[in-house]
């Protein structure tokens, strides 16, 4: 079954809106240093029967790195700086909202790249497959979770 252009993005938006997920995602991102789009990619792949092998995850990380480092993270840093810590000029709140919209667009563009790298669905969707994908990503990223419960919150929201 082919992947539709908005499948991954819509899945991510739906999951992120569920109770407790946004906070858990931000902790994985900010505290544990994981790329949230790759976390969601692991989850989406598991929820659609796609196994992510280590080599495929390494390729995905490498493919996303330039965009993430040169575009996404700098835009996010600007948005966060505008939130506080600097004196606000007139119109700062509206400008921050525009920067936030750009950040979301950059996130979506990274997800489009990841979606194109998605392997074919070969298994039944499952919690075990999503967890296997996530564990492989954590190994590739060389990260150990401070609170594995954050992954469980996200996983439970997607695959109850």
> For the segment 20-40, what is each residue's pLDDT rounded down to a tens digit?
999 999 999 999 999 999 999
pLDDT of amino acid 2: 47
Residues 160, 154: Cα–Cα separation, whole Å: 10
> For the segment 53-92, what is each residue's pLDDT rounded down to a tens digit?
999 999 999 999 999 999 999 999 999 988 865 666 778 8
Residue 67, CA distances (Å) to 60, 74, 106, 107, 114 in order:
12, 10, 8, 10, 12
pLDDT of amino acid 5: 62
At how many degrees (to 10) do helices 92-117 and 73-83 cross?
150
């Amino acid at each position: 079954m082919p992947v539709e252009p908005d499948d991954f993005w819509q899945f991510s938006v739906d999951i992120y809106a569920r109770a407790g997920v946004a906070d858990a995602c931000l902790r994985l991102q900010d505290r544990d240093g994981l790329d949230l789009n790759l976390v969601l990619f692991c989850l989406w792949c598991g929820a659609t029967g796609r196994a992510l092998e280590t080599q495929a995850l390494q390729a995905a990380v490498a493919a996303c790195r330039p965009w993430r480092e040169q575009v996404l993270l700098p835009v996010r840093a600007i948005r966060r700086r505008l939130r506080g810590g600097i004196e606000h000029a007139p119109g700062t709140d509206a400008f921050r909202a525009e920067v936030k919209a750009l950040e979301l667009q950059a996130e979506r563009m990274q997800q489009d790249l990841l979606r194109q790298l998605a392997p074919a669905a070969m298994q039944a969707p499952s919690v075990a497959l999503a967890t296997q994908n996530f564990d492989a990503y954590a190994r590739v990223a060389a990260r150990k979770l401070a609170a594995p419960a954050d992954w469980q919150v996200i996983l439970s929201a997607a695959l109850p």
